[in-house]
Amino acid sequence: MRESLKQCKRIVIKVGTSTLMYENGNINLRTIEKLARVLAELRNEGKEVVLVSSGAIGVGCRKLQLNERPKTIPEQQAIAAVGQSELMHIYSKLFGEYGYTVGQVLLTRDVTDFPISRQNVINTFDMLITQGTIPIVNENDTVAVEEIMHITKFGDNDRLSAVVAELIQADLLIMLSDIDGFYNTNPLIHPDATMFHEIHEITDDTLKLAGGKGSEFGTGGMLTKLAAAELCLKNNQKMVLTNGNNPDVIYAIISGEQVGTLFAKRKEDILNG
Ligand code: ADP
């Protein structure tokens, strides 16, 4: 099963705030720099990569020197607006070091519901990839709030990354988090938890194993990651969840090494539909 990852050409990488920021609220430049180098190297090898990056609010808080995340939605949207451009500035600089240009793609959930919007998004991704740029995706926080008649919010970037993988028909989604993989219970609370190397389907029993989120900046915990995995499995796509503290892990994954948790359908299940 792992061997098949060597053939993956189109790859979505999702990076969580806990990978991009230190617990103290500062930006983890070393990890971001390494991430940019690894993705640039994958492009050099001929792979196609799309980055889904969280971090706008965290980076915005740093930029505005706020010690804690404000509570109201307009405040969070304003901070995200500041943080998003700051984050793109950092990515642009670091990818630029390795000869790559980045393109910002901000999405709202309604793109999945309206066929013309959906096609426009797909066209943009295709063109960015053809141009050799690195698309960097986030939710459009200015527009996306919970509404009843017009659903604009993905809610979390885990789900967004699986939707992006679906839109661009990626072979693989690599989800970088602050944990080595999916365990039979939350390892932060139970140190004797054991990690799954492979999961072939998401059942109610799987969902019961997901505990709370890991860090102050963490977003959805394991539940949103399992929801993303479920969408990938439905689309016969693969997902690997692993720790993003050393982005070199991406090389190991696409060399077929057994790192993190691989979510993939069994071959026979794909054949039986
Ligand atoms: P991110 O910011 O990367 O999206 P989150 O904090 O949202 O990260 O989610 C990762 C956290 O989920 C882990 O640090 C861990 O504490 C928690 N978690 C809960 N249940 C599990 C489980 N069964 N296996 C692994 N991690 C779990």
Around 57, how many Cα atoms within 13 Å sit in the side-chain half-sphere?
24
Going by C-alpha positions, the residue among 37, 56, 3 that lies closest to residue 219 is: 56
**Best residue for ligand 1 mutational test, from 22, 177, 196, 217 (most atoms within 8 Å of Cβ):** 177
Residue 96 in marked binding region: no
Q: What is the C-alpha to C-alpha distance for residues 194 and 119, in angstroms, rounded to an integer?
A: 42
Place of tokens 């995706």: 137
Residue 221 in marked binding region: yes
Nearest-atom number in ligand 1 for the CA of 244 is 3
Residue 141 in marked binding region: yes
Q: What is the C-alpha to C-alpha distance for residues 107 and 28, in angstroms, rounded to an integer?
A: 25
Cα-to-centroid distance, 85 and ligand 1 (Å)? 27
Cα-to-centroid distance, 116 and ligand 1 (Å)? 35
Cα-to-centroid distance, 215 and ligand 1 (Å)? 8
Indicate whether residue 215 lines ligand 1 (CB < 6 A).
yes
Ligand 1, atom 26: closest residue by C-alpha: 186
- Say which residues have a Cβ less than 8 Å from residue 116's Cβ, sequence separation at least 6: none
Tell me, what amino acid is at 209? L
Place of tokens 């077929």: 256
CB 162 within 8 A of CB 224: no
Give kind and range of the element (H or E) at residue 61: helix 56-63
Ligand 1, atom 19: closest residue by C-alpha: 211
CB 228 within 8 A of CB 199: no
Residues of the chain with pLDDT under 50: none
Taking domain 2-271, whether its CATH number is 3.30.390.30 is answered by: no
Q: How far apart, in Å, do the first and last CA atoms of the chain sit? A: 18
Going by C-alpha positions, the residue among 14, 6, 267 that lies closest to residue 139 is: 14
The pLDDT value recorded for residue 143 is 85
Q: What is the C-alpha to C-alpha distance for residues 167 and 226, in angstroms, rounded to an integer?
A: 19
Which residue ranges make up each domain of the chain?
2-271
Q: What is the C-alpha to C-alpha distance for residues 159 and 220, in angstroms, rounded to an integer?
A: 10
Instruction: List, for residues 44-87, the tens digit of each pLDDT value.
Output: 999 999 999 999 999 999 999 998 888 898 999 999 999 999 99
The pLDDT value recorded for residue 242 is 97
The pLDDT value recorded for residue 214 is 53
Q: What sign has the CA pseudo-torsion 65, 87, 13, 73?
A: positive
Instruction: List, for residues 16-53, the tens digit of each pLDDT value.
Output: 998 999 999 999 999 999 999 999 999 999 999 999 99
The pLDDT value recorded for residue 249 is 98
The pLDDT value recorded for residue 149 is 58
CA distances from 104 to 51, 62, 101 (A): 10, 21, 10
In degrees, rounded to 5, the angle at the alpha carbon of residue 131 between the alpha carbons of residues 127 and 133 is: 100
**DSSP assigned state of 24:** T
How much is the pTM? 0.94
